[in-house]
């Protein structure tokens, strides 16, 4: 593979390799260690491998499935496949390889992760089809990324628990909410091409209100996790910062001004995820 193709593949997934989900996966992993499980560098690296390959497969599959729509949309026509940087066949090969590596990695983690790996892949890949038949596509995306904290916890413990599930519920509401904001950019295009989304269903104002409701519940789940987990002051500082950043993104995106959607979607939420995870993980050791 030449450098041109390699750089194209890297750009296909760059910026999406778990900047939102990986910090929460680290929370789930560290939370399991607090229950007396020993740290294993091998297990940690396998968890990271699963996160990276799952996101690679999901993002590349989304670009592969949506390539015809992306070519018609001025905002997305510069993406790798419609722009001719990546051949669709090469993208499909990339997806298959990442799926196989993901499943193989779960085999070396534990039995429950291995058995659930096809379910996880189905959820994260199925999202790419959902805009064709339901406006709830954002919730499917949220569900896919919400697997991160509980999946990492399962990798260590091999069993479910309520506390990591609360972090999964947080991710579900948080991601679903900010994906609705991101989808505002394509409301007109989606409506013209019979694609479904919350903005198409409810309009710009209604979509923003729905996003606010989801983000309200994401904060509720963060607070609930802190209460049940009896975390210390660092966790609550992280929670305050996370909440402030969630509120901030709604303050800069208005129904009549979508110019800062990308700032709200990528930058603000990326910072929120990393900051919250950092404070939460450090709080476990102080």
| Domain CATH for 248 | 1.10.357.140
pLDDT tier at 137, thresholds 50, 70, 90? very high
- Using a CB cutoff of 8 Å and minimum separation of 24, what contacts does 39-48 make? 43/109, 43/155, 43/156, 46/105, 46/108, 46/109, 46/155, 47/109, 47/151, 47/152, 47/155, 48/22
Closest by Cα among 133, 257, 140, 239 to 196: 133
List alpha helices for 14-136, DSSP H.
22-33, 41-65, 67-72, 88-107, 111-130
Segment among 206-210, 262-266, 269-273 with least mean pLDDT: 262-266
pTM of the model: 0.93
Domain that holds residue 271: 3-283
pLDDT tier at 9, thresholds 50, 70, 90? low
What pLDDT shows up at residue 80?
A: 84
pLDDT tier at 286, thresholds 50, 70, 90? confident
pLDDT tier at 149, thresholds 50, 70, 90? very high
What are the backbone angles phi and psi of residue 254, rounded to the nearest 5°?
A: -120, 155
Provide the number of structural domains found in the chain: 1
CB 126 within 8 A of CB 136: no
Orientation of helix 41-65 relative to helix 137-157, angle to 10°: 160
CA angle 81, 8, 87 (to 5 degrees): 40
The mean pLDDT of 23-37, rounded to a whole number, is 95
Q: Cβ neighbours of residue 51 under 8 Å, at least 6 residues apart?
A: 17, 18, 21, 22, 25, 148
For the chain, give the mean pLDDT: 92
């Amino acid at each position: 593979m030449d450098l041109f193709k390699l750089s194209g593949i890297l750009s296909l997934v760059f910026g999406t390799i778990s900047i939102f989900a990986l910090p929460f996966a680290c929370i789930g992993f560290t939370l399991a260690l607090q229950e007396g499980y020993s740290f294993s560098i091998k297990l940690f690296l396998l968890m990271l491998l699963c996160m990276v390959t799952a996101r690679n497969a999901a993002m590349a599959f989304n670009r592969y499935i949506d390539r015809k729509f992306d070519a018609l949309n001025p905002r997305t026509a510069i993406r790798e496949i419609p722009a001719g940087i990546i051949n669709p066949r090469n993208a499909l090969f990339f997806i298959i390889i990442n799926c196989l590596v993901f499943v193989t990695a779960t085999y070396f983690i534990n039995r429950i992760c291995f058995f659930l790996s096809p379910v996880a892949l189905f959820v994260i890949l199925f999202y790419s089809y959902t805009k064709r038949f339901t406006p709830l596509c954002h919730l499917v995306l949220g569900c896919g990324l919400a697997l991160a904290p509980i999946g990492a916890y399962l990798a260590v413990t091999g069993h479910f628990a309520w506390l990591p599930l609360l972090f999964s519920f947080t991710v579900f509401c948080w991601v679903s909410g900010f994906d609705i904001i991101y989808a505002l950019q394509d409301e007109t295009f989606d409506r013209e091409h019979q694609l479904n989304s919350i903005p198409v269903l409810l309009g710009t104002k209604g979509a923003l209100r729905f996003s606010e409701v989801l983000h309200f519940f994401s904060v509720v789940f963060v607070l609930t996790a802190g209460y049940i987990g009896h975390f210390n002051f660092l966790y609550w500082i992280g929670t305050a910062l996370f909440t402030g950043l969630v509120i901030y993104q709604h303050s800069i995106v208005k129904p009549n001004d979508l110019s800062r959607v990308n700032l709200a979607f990528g930058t603000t939420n990326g910072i929120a995820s990393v900051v919250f995870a950092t404070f939460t993980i450090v709080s476990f050791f102080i």
